[in-house]
Amino acid sequence: MPPSPRPSVALFVTCLVDAMRPRIGFAALAALEDAGCEVVVPAEQTCCGQPALNSGDAAAAAAIARQTIALLEPYEAVVVPSGSCAATIACHYPELLANDPAWLPRAQALASRTYEILTYLDQVCDWRPSAALDASVAYHDSCSGLRELGIKQQPRRLLSHVKGLRQVPLAGAETCCGFGGTFCVKYPSISNAIVEEKAAAIEASGADLLLSGDLGCLMNMAGKLHRRGASTRAFHTLEVLAGVADGPAIGEAP
């Protein structure tokens, strides 16, 4: 039997990963290749448009959606290392273009082929990580991934295969960290009150590492933990799974 062709997937790294923490993008490349995928990084990618969408600028959000759809259309699958950006493409592009008969089917087609990366690795590729890490971890369920895409068991299942890793319970793991995209700059003091509580819960969990699947939430929580002088280090789940969590944590100088 001839070997089945490797699926070609486009990696949409997200604007935050691109600018702030490229190593998550490289961890994605490593994990996807390990799972047998041929990965393409479309060079013209920018941002999924979520800030415009959530600010009410539907026209700009739709224009960005059309551009992103055209860019990602040629690929068999699109994977995104963020539940929130994946949900923007998979859930909100079709809503944004609902009244555009030319673009709606294209939005729907892309939506059906767009995956948050941990879901893709776990459920489509049936991949199991071979990484090892001697650490206790607290996992925060980022809201969009959890409620819009149903990401709950996938990361925990994948993490359960990492040798030496111990998952510890985090009180209020499903409670929003107060990042909320532009919410944290629109209402800084409410956002602060929310992330204070989150950071206290993370510290109380006693975990060595904080993991999550969205860089925005991670930057918010890590930034608060650092301001509080906590020793908990933060990584994107993917970094642990790809075996690169021996590098600097979020905010640590290389």
For residues 153 to 182, the per-residue mask of contacts with other proteins, x marking binding by CB under 8 A and - elsewhere, is ---------------------xxx-xxxx-
The CA distance from 254 to 122, in Å, is 30
Alpha helices in 113-181 (DSSP H): 117-119, 143, 149, 153-159
Q: Which stretch binds other proteins (CB under 8 A): 23-31, 104-112, 116-124, 201-209?
A: 23-31
Query: Three-state SS for 107?
Result: helix
Query: Three-state SS for 28?
Result: helix
For the chain, strand residue ranges (E) read 8-11, 38-40, 77-80, 114-116, 132-139, 163-168, 209-212, 233-236
DSSP state of 211: E
Among residues 206 and 248, whose Cβ is nearest to other proteins? 248
Q: Is 55 in the site for other proteins (CB under 8 A)?
A: yes
| Residues 78-137 contacting other proteins, CB under 8 A | none
User: How many chain residues interact with other proteins (CB under 8 A)?
Assistant: 70
Q: Which residue in 82, 191, 205, 232 binds other proteins (CB under 8 A)? A: 191
The CA distance from 219 to 234, in Å, is 8
Tokens 């729907």 belong to 108
Q: Is 63 in the site for other proteins (CB under 8 A)?
A: yes
Q: Is 31 in the site for other proteins (CB under 8 A)?
A: no
Tokens 């990366």 belong to 117
Residue 169 half-sphere exposure, CB side, CA atoms within 13 Å? 2
Q: Is 40 in the site for other proteins (CB under 8 A)?
A: no
Q: Which stretch binds other proteins (CB under 8 A): 107-115, 130-138, 205-213, 245-253?
A: 245-253
Among residues 18 and 203, whose Cβ is nearest to other proteins? 18
One-letter amino acid for residue 243 of the chain? G
Q: Which residue in 135, 148, 152, 161 binds other proteins (CB under 8 A)? A: 148
Q: Given the rule CB under 8 A, which residues bind other proteins?
A: 13, 15, 17-23, 25-26, 29-30, 41, 43-47, 49, 51-58, 60, 63-64, 67, 143-144, 146-148, 174-176, 178-181, 183-195, 219-220, 222-224, 226-227, 248, 250-254
